A and B are shown apart, each in its own frame.
Chain A
Amino acid sequence: MKNSDQDQPDSRDDDQELAAKQRASERAPKSRRLIYLWSLARQLPWLILRYRL
């Protein structure tokens, strides 16, 4: 009984963690698109120097 009581919160935690991971994974591609575009935007000021090099 004691074990079962201890298992229930663990199991709920696991489910919540899994659900959170799934939500994060679904969100990730969208936020990563912004990260990609931002990574390009940050390089723009250097382009003339890179071209000259």
Chain B
Amino acid sequence: MSSSAPECDYDVVVIGAGLGGLTSAGLLANRGLRVGVFEQAPRIGGCCGSVQSGDYQFDVGATLVLFLGVIERYFTSIERSMSDYIDFLPIDPLLQVVDNEKRRFAVPTSVDETGKVFGEICAASGEGWKRYAEEASSGLLSSMADLFAVPMQNFQDARKIAEDPSSPSGSAPPMLQSFESTLRSFFKHDSILGAFSHSSYSVGLPPALAPGYAAFLNYSEHDGAYYPRGGMKALPEGIARALKEDGGEIHLGARVESVLTQGRKAIGVRLADGREVRARVVIGDINVKALYGEMLPKDRVPLWARLALSSLKLSQSSVMLMLGIEGDEGFDAQNTMFTQGLEPMNRIWFDDYERGCPSQGGYLFASVPSFTDPSLAPPGHHVVHLHTLAPYNLAGGRNWDDIRDEEAERILNFLEADFGLFLRDRIRCMRLSTPVDLERDVGLFRGALYDLESGPLSTSMFRPRMRSSLLDHLYLTGASVHLGGGIPTCIGSGIIAADMVTEDWDRES
């Protein structure tokens, strides 16, 4: 690819240094374009990042990495070795489950070993796991990672995939069955149902409303779950290092206010300080509602587009209580699911979340990455992240900053009362991250962890197109578009967007 006219500041401007934007930027810089990334926050990575508090290093959002092959694919594409940039440590067991009868069991990475663990809980669960594993490994879902860098913008793309003999084959995933119904067809034991139902929230919905195919996401973890040595920030930093080596530039604390247009074409961006940055191509790695609703000239967003945008719902937001604790009592693995069973996972959505209340019980997901990487805390200490569902907008005009202490207390009380885990005396450092903090500090639109929800009718070609439908030379990447929220999915969308830019650039040059 050859660089464009010198009157442009860059060939490509990327709005936002999330994983999608960094991936697109890295690939295009490697292909010879002048790339500038503009990030409003003082650090890169979006919700894949870390923050230091005293002697403890916490993660701000994501706490593990799946589908490592997608990240390897990125580094291979830029003719580098992933291991030179990021050191991924395996997480095993994948999960420790603690129920409110204080029963504990581990879910190992090995599929066979997991079957044994479930069989020991009850024979039906062992049998259910066998059927679940067979279904997950024989269907289309087993090859999901192969589709991570393939565009799915319209029916033509879908047809191409269907007609390509090298495309993954297998039975179509369940669409008309909910996550809950699918999971219940394999398992009856409430603690297993409760532990597995957490992954419904990774598509932004409770078990009753999430699609059936998401029930198999748990199985994908058995291909390997990893944690980057040095904290989650090591992942975007690894991608950014390669980007800079190829001449790309990253500007931190540089908020983009609007996209500059000329007719139907994007020609650059205007920054909050008034500076204009001209480019031949603009890539947006921010929430599509913010991009189209706030950064484009009003006359470029027709009524039909506004209606389409308003019909797309955001995924859930959550609170995260971060603790630096002495000792490891109560935790046997990096990830622990404290569960009350499946039904409360729905109840907290319908009774609490949708009514603007912090969830009253249900579950707590604990991530203790210092089990995998001890360098995150002083010797003998751990960093603990306790996640649970929490609405961005609170009922009754309450403000998150006003109920911060109350919420931290509620989480600790829940652990004590329902699971008999007393941490207070061992806490050496504590901070609470609310949905508002995530928006303020990390730039996560309305604190939605996975951006737009990924239901069956808001996924693939029913998400906003990566090649913008509203402006030429504008592309979208990240969690708002195809593949949805998550680490491998955002990196996959970054690869697809970069390939689209390359294809159009070569055609127009």
Q: How far is the CA of A25 from the CA of B462 in the complex (A)?
A: 34
Closest 7 pairs (CB-CB, A-B)? A49-B308, A36-B178, A46-B311, A32-B208, A53-B308, A43-B457, A50-B462
**Inter-chain pairs besides A29-B184, A36-B208, A52-B305, 10 sampled, C-beta below 8 Å:** A32-B178, A35-B208, A36-B177, A40-B456, A47-B462, A50-B312, A50-B458, A53-B305, A53-B309, A53-B469
List 19 A-B pairs, Cβ < 8 Å. Answer: A29-B180, A32-B346, A33-B178, A35-B209, A36-B181, A36-B209, A40-B176, A43-B457, A43-B458, A44-B457, A46-B311, A49-B307, A49-B311, A50-B311, A50-B312, A50-B457, A52-B305, A52-B308, A53-B309
Quick one: closest B residue to A28, CB to CB?
B343
Q: How far is the CA of A53 from the CA of B458 in the complex (A)?
A: 11
Binding site for B on A (CB under 8 A): 25, 28-29, 32-33, 35-37, 39-40, 43-44, 46-47, 49-53
Task: Please judge, given known A-B contacts A46-B311, A52-B304, A53-B465, whether A25 and B457 are in contact too, CB under 8 Å.
Answer: no
307-333 of chain B: CB within 8 A of chain A: 307-309, 311-312
Inter-subunit contact B343/A25 (CB<8 Å): yes
B187 to chain A, nearest CB (A): 13
Inter-subunit contact B311/A43 (CB<8 Å): yes
Number of B residues, CB within 8 Å of A: 28
Binding site for A on B (CB under 8 A): 154, 176-178, 180-181, 184, 208-209, 304-305, 307-309, 311-312, 343, 346, 455-458, 461-465, 469
B452 to chain A, nearest CB (A): 10
Task: Please judge, given known A-B contacts A46-B311, A50-B308, whether A40 and B469 are in contact too, CB under 8 Å.
Answer: no
A46 contacts across to B, CB distance below 8 A: 307-308, 311, 457
Q: How far is the CA of A37 from the CA of B462 in the complex (A)?
A: 18
Quick one: closest B residue to A32, CB to CB?
B208
Q: How far is the CA of A40 from the CA of B458 in the complex (A)?
A: 10
